[in-house]
Structure 1
Amino acid sequence: MSPQTNPNATRAPAPTHMSPEEWQARIDLAACYRLVAHHGWTDLIYTHISLRVPGTAHYLINPFGWSFDEITASSLVKIDSDGQKVDDSPHDVHRAGFVIHSAIHTARDDAHCVLHLHTRAGMAISMLKCGLLPLSQHAMMFHGKVAYHESEGLAVNLQERERLANDLGNHMVMVLRNHGTLVVGYTVAEAFSSMWHLEKACQAQLDAMACGQELNFPPDGVAEQISRLGFNKAALREYPEGRSPLGWKEWPAMLRLADKVSPGYAV
């Protein structure tokens, strides 16, 4: 039997008032929330993962006050670019928390999924003047793809959105100084994979720096090569599939993991 699906997983059918595309988006996003909880990346009920509803200018986000391991496909709230609810959901939305996400979604057509975290390692890297260094293979995947945004305090000022968008530019990762990390994905799968590798890169850098020994940087050209072969949707002859596996190949396995460690999200 192919491992691509878990026959024991519970998948509720799409509600009659909802398109199959939106329902699948909800399932993927709910799974991502559960996986973030499983890996210990949460900050109580704070931080967010948002996803554009396919074919619309609306977005899905978590019900404010729920822990990430409680999120289900049907509990996700549909909002507009100002964080206002556009459906009859009974759940609250953390509007202040959507300032960062709305800035990215509205500025980037390819920013379908925005994943923002306050992990211990991500916050530590955001405090270092040097930022993320090209020390590990995981870090080198993001060479030339990391932006930085200086802290403006709690993200409650709508005027900050323009500065956030300008600082991000066309990068896939942004380090929010003295705050945390953010990744942009064309899909939930890409955003989750990006954050996984970014988090590992942050942890490895902090471990190496804590040793107090001289750091070994790669030879010239290595970081550029790894970045090109990493998160890249372009055709790449180096891979049997013709493109990098990062950001899509892992997702079926991650869904199976979510089914095992946190079932019930796809309802």
Structure 2
Amino acid sequence: MAAVLDQPLEKLTTGDRISIYQPEQAGLIYPELPTFATHAEHRQHLKERLVAACRAFALQGFDYGFAGHLTVRDPEFPDLYWTNPMCVHFSQVKVSNLILADHEGKVVEGQYAINRAGFVLHAAVHEAHPDIVAMCHAHTTYGTAFAALGKPLDPISQDAAAFYEDHVVIKSEAGQVAVEKKAGPKVADWFKGVKAAIHQNHGLLTASRHSIESAAFWFIALERCCQQQLMVEATGSKPVFVSPERSRYSREHVGSEYIGWLHFQPIWDQLVKTQPDMFD
């Protein structure tokens, strides 16, 4: 059997490109980041993508009663954020029933009530971190189960390596429903420079400084990675970890905010074709 050589990784150069995945060849069909002429145009875009993220969560089976909240900061009024309405299934969220709220939990636009737990956590993160534009949380099966272990995700795959040194385990307020305002800042403090958190005895949270699409995709990815690690651990065998060097390499090239946005684009296209009522 031939020896496996673990050679040092070469630094990939992207030139003027955001990612190595952007084609060097001109004229090919490839998703491009949007630009906006007005705040209104930008706002409509964000609302549509927020709805799509909710619909994507529905397709993934992330619903659990009224639990689960996704938010995105308004482009014109950064102290306000858009979120899904209370007690509306992810599959029924649409542009017309979104609500706009402030950091105190007051609904300033929309007819539905706000999810208090969502307001306590998300508003605190948005207020404490002006660079964070979007956040996602849901009570998922595997993420909640993994959160009971109170430990970080292991780099057992390329997918898991996308979260290497880019997520935290939050033990503050573990297992206690976040309905008191004091709980929010305790969680918000942990979101400095990371895109994801495992809240012990609670579940998963993701935050993005790029887009709601990125926050939504990395939530979907984190849930999947939790499922995979639980499956591997159930075998009783110790998995082989991706080395720290290769984990950081993978995180750099397949774990960025931009890559999260890019991963969401086929999800968006599929939803546009199959669920046009989300624009109602």
- Asked whether the two chains share a fold, i.e. TM above 0.5, the reply is yes
Alignment of 1:263 onto 2:263: no
Q: How does 1:72-151 map to 2 (within 5 A)?
A: 72-87=94-109, 89-150=110-171, 151=174
Sequence identity of aligned pairs in percent? 25
What do the CA deviations read for 1:22-50 (whole angstroms, capped 9, x no partner)? 11111110111011101111212211001
| Counterpart amino acid of residue 238 in structure 2 | E
For 2:89, the equivalent position in structure 1 comes to: 67
Give the Cα separation in 2 of the matches to 1:130 and 1:107: 25
* Selected match of 2:260 from 244, 247, 258: 247
How much has 1:120 moved relative to structure 2? 0.9
For 1:170, the equivalent position in structure 2 comes to: 193
What do the CA deviations read for 1:53-79 (whole angstroms, capped 9, x no partner)? 112121111111111100101210011
Cα separation, partners in 2 of 1:226 and 1:3, compared to 1, 3 Å:
closer
Give the Cα separation in 2 of the matches to 1:39 and 1:214: 29
Give the Cα separation in 1 of the matches to 2:244 and 2:233: 21
For 1:12, the equivalent position in structure 2 comes to: none
Give the Cα separation in 2 of the matches to 1:133 and 1:183: 17
The answer to whether the Cα contact below 8 Å between 2:161 and 2:242 also exists between their aligned partners in 1 is: no
Matched residue of 1:174: which SS? strand
How much has 1:95 moved relative to structure 2? 2.3
How much has 1:3 moved relative to structure 2? 8.8
* Selected match of 2:205 from 141, 162, 182: 182
Higher percent of residues as helix:
2
Q: Displaced runs of 4+ in structure 1, greater than 3 A?
A: none
Q: TM-score, normalised by structure 2?
A: 0.81
How much has 1:158 moved relative to structure 2? 0.7
The answer to whether the Cα contact below 8 Å between 2:125 and 2:185 also exists between their aligned partners in 1 is: no
Cα separation, partners in 2 of 1:93 and 1:129, compared to 1, 3 Å:
closer
Any gaps of 5 or more consecutive residues in structure 2?
1-28, 32-38
Cα separation, partners in 2 of 1:72 and 1:218, compared to 1, 3 Å:
same
Deviates more, 1:129-138 or 1:60-69: 129-138
For 2:246, the equivalent position in structure 1 comes to: 222
Any gaps of 5 or more consecutive residues in structure 1?
5-17, 234-244
For 2:13, the equivalent position in structure 1 comes to: none
Question: RMSD over aligned Cα, in angstroms?
Answer: 2.1
Deviates more, 1:125-134 or 1:27-36: 125-134
What do the CA deviations read for 1:135-172 (whole angstroms, capped 9, x no partner)? 12111111111112121611011112221122222211
Cα separation, partners in 2 of 1:152 and 1:197, compared to 1, 3 Å:
closer
The answer to whether the Cα contact below 8 Å between 2:83 and 2:99 also exists between their aligned partners in 1 is: yes
Give the Cα separation in 1 of the matches to 2:245 and 2:59: 36
| Counterpart amino acid of residue 20 in structure 1 | E
The answer to whether the Cα contact below 8 Å between 1:48 and 1:61 also exists between their aligned partners in 2 is: yes
Give the Cα separation in 1 of the matches to 2:247 and 2:186: 28
The answer to whether the Cα contact below 8 Å between 2:175 and 2:201 also exists between their aligned partners in 1 is: no
Structure with higher RCO (Cα < 8 A, 6+ apart): 1
Q: How does 1:17-96 map to 2 (within 5 A)?
A: 19-56=40-77, 57-87=79-109, 89-96=110-117
How much has 1:84 moved relative to structure 2? 0.4
The answer to whether the Cα contact below 8 Å between 1:193 and 1:246 also exists between their aligned partners in 2 is: no
For 1:197, the equivalent position in structure 2 comes to: 221
The answer to whether the Cα contact below 8 Å between 2:138 and 2:205 also exists between their aligned partners in 1 is: yes
